[in-house]
Amino acid sequence: MQTRYKRIMIKVTGESLLGQREYGIDPQAARELAQKIKSVADLGIQVAIVIGGGNIFRGLSGSKNGIDRATADYMGMLATVMNGMALEDALIKVGVPVRLQSALTMTSVAEPFLRKRAIHHLEKGRVVILSAGTGNPYVTTDTGASLHALELHCEVLMKATKVDGVYNADPQTHPEAKRYKTLNYRDILHDRLQVMDAAALSMSMDNNLTTQVFQLFEGDYLLRAVKGEPVGTIMSNDVTTQFA
């Protein structure tokens, strides 16, 4: 299969591990996610992954409920490490070589994040899971995904979500909402579209990193995306904003 990219960053929400549960990690959901990633890694594409922690704990939600913001964010980082461990285990079980790295030091369960080591793993054909965000509070895992994608020289940031792209309104509450085929970063910031946090968007825009947003579990969107098909919504400095 012809592929467009050699090295990609996939941003996966913690909710992708929920499955049919309301909280925590569903091993079956982890296995399904691992199979999706395996289908891409088997093509020879170098895959880095940043995973969120919303299925266990969100720092922003914790701070709104009275926990100190920095403390809540560190708790959220720990949740992403737990998710990273679950995904690492699932990938091993489907035969994918993988390394889990953490921006917080916890050598009993994960390697510390070292940029050159992560690149070495990718070049050796290992999937690299990057947990604990950037290791700093007051930023989201979206920002961590943008930052790590740039550090590791990924060609694209693929944001895998529950919806099939970016809409001009919430499609769950506004049936008339329209999906964007392409979005210029400046229009996203100008219109304050809820795609990623502003820091992640600005970082991607300033460094000309293309982001593709698509649905993860429905169909073969991930495979189609790595082939270069215009699935979901493509966000870049080099496109004109258009509806699908």
Strands 46-51, 127-131: pairing kind = parallel
Mean per-residue pLDDT over the chain, rounded: 94
- Residue 218: pLDDT over 80: no
pLDDT value, residue 191: 85
pLDDT value, residue 35: 96
Tokens representing 85 are 């461990």
pLDDT in tens, 198-215: 899 999 999 999 999 999
Dist. CA 33–CA 188, nearest whole Å: 29
Could you tell me what percent of the chain has a pLDDT over 70? Answer: 100
**Contact of 134 with 103, CB cutoff 8 Å:** yes
Q: Which listed CATH number (3.30.70.3420, 3.40.1160.10, 3.60.21.10, 3.40.50.2300) goes with 7-243? A: 3.40.1160.10
Dist. CA 28–CA 31, nearest whole Å: 5
- 70's CB contacts (< 8 A; 6+ apart) are 137, 138
**Contact of 13 with 143, CB cutoff 8 Å:** no
Tokens representing 141 are 């895992």
Give the DSSP H or E segment for 109: none
pLDDT in tens, 116-153: 999 999 999 999 999 999 999 999 999 999 999 999 99
pLDDT in tens, 13-53: 999 999 999 999 999 999 999 999 999 999 999 999 999 99
Per-domain residue ranges of the chain:
7-243
pTM of the entire structure? Answer: 0.95
- Residue 1: pLDDT over 70: no
Helix (H, G, I), strand (E, B), or coil: what is residue 45?
coil
pLDDT value, residue 219: 79
- Residue 187: pLDDT over 70: yes
Alpha helices in the chain (DSSP H): 27-41, 59-64, 69-93, 115-123, 141-151, 185-191, 198-206, 221-226
- Residue 2: pLDDT over 70: yes
Could you tell me what percent of the chain has a pLDDT over 90? Answer: 84
- Residue 216: pLDDT over 90: no
